[in-house]
Amino acid sequence: MNKATSEPWRVGVLFSQSGHMSVIEETQLRGTLLAIDEINSSGGLNGRELMPIIYDPASDNTLFRLYAKKLMTEDGVSSIFGCYTSSSRKVVLPIVERLNGLLWYPTLYEGFEYSPNVIYTGSAPNQNSLALCEYLVSNLGRRFYFVGSDYIYPRETNRIMREMLRGAEVVGESYVSLRAQRKDFLPIIRDMQRTRPDVIFSTVVGDSTVHLYQSYSDAGFDPKTLPIASLTTTEAEIRAMGFDVGEGHITAASYFQNIDSASNASFVSRFKKRFGADEPTNMCVEAAYFQVHFFARALVMTNSMETNLLRPVVLGSEFEAPQGKVAINASCSHADLWSCIGRANRAGQFDIVARSKAAVAADPYLTCSGRNAHFL
3-class secondary structure per residue, the chain? CCHHHHCCEEEEEECCCCCCCHHHHHHHHHHHHHHHHHHHHCCCECCECEEEEEECCCCCHHHHHHHHHHHHHCCCCCEEEECCCHHHHHHHHHHHHHCCCEEEECCCCCCCCCCCCEEECCCCHHHCHHHHHHHHHHHCCCEEEEEEECCHHHHHHHHHHHHHHCCCEEEEEEEECCCCCHHHHHHHHHHHHHHCCCEEEEECCCHHHHHHHHHHHHCCCCCCCCCEEECCCCHHHHHHHCHHHHCCCEEEECCCCCCCCHHHHHHHHHHHHHHCCCCCCCHHHHHHHHHHHHHHHHHHHHCCCCHHHHHHHHCCCEEEECCEEEEEECCCCEEEECCEEEEECCCCCEEEEEECCCCECCCCCCCCCCCCCCCC
Instruction: Select from 107, 158, 233, 349 the one that contacts ligand ACM (CB under 6 A).
Output: 107
State the nearest-atom distance from the C-beta of 205 to ligand ACM, in Å. Answer: 6
Find the part of the chain contacting ligand ACM (CB under 6 A) among 31-39, 101-109, 139-147, 287-295: 101-109
Nearer to ligand ACM, 232 or 323 (CB): 232
Instruction: Select from 15, 104, 109, 120 the one that contacts ligand ACM (CB under 6 A).
Output: 109
What is the per-residue binding string for ligand ACM in 222-251, x denoting contact by CB under 6 A?
----------x-------------------
Q: How many residues bind ligand ACM (CB under 6 A)?
A: 8
Find the part of the chain contacting ligand ACM (CB under 6 A) among 104-112, 131-139, 252-260, 289-297: 104-112
Site for ligand ACM in 29-68 (CB under 6 A): none
Q: Is 153 in the site for ligand ACM (CB under 6 A)?
A: yes
Find the part of the chain contacting ligand ACM (CB under 6 A) among 91-99, 105-113, 217-225, 310-318: 105-113
State the nearest-atom distance from the C-beta of 83 to ligand ACM, in Å. Answer: 8
Site for ligand ACM in 191-220 (CB under 6 A): 205
State the nearest-atom distance from the C-beta of 277 to ligand ACM, in Å. Answer: 28
Q: Which residues bind ligand ACM (CB under 6 A)?
A: 85-86, 107-109, 153, 205, 232
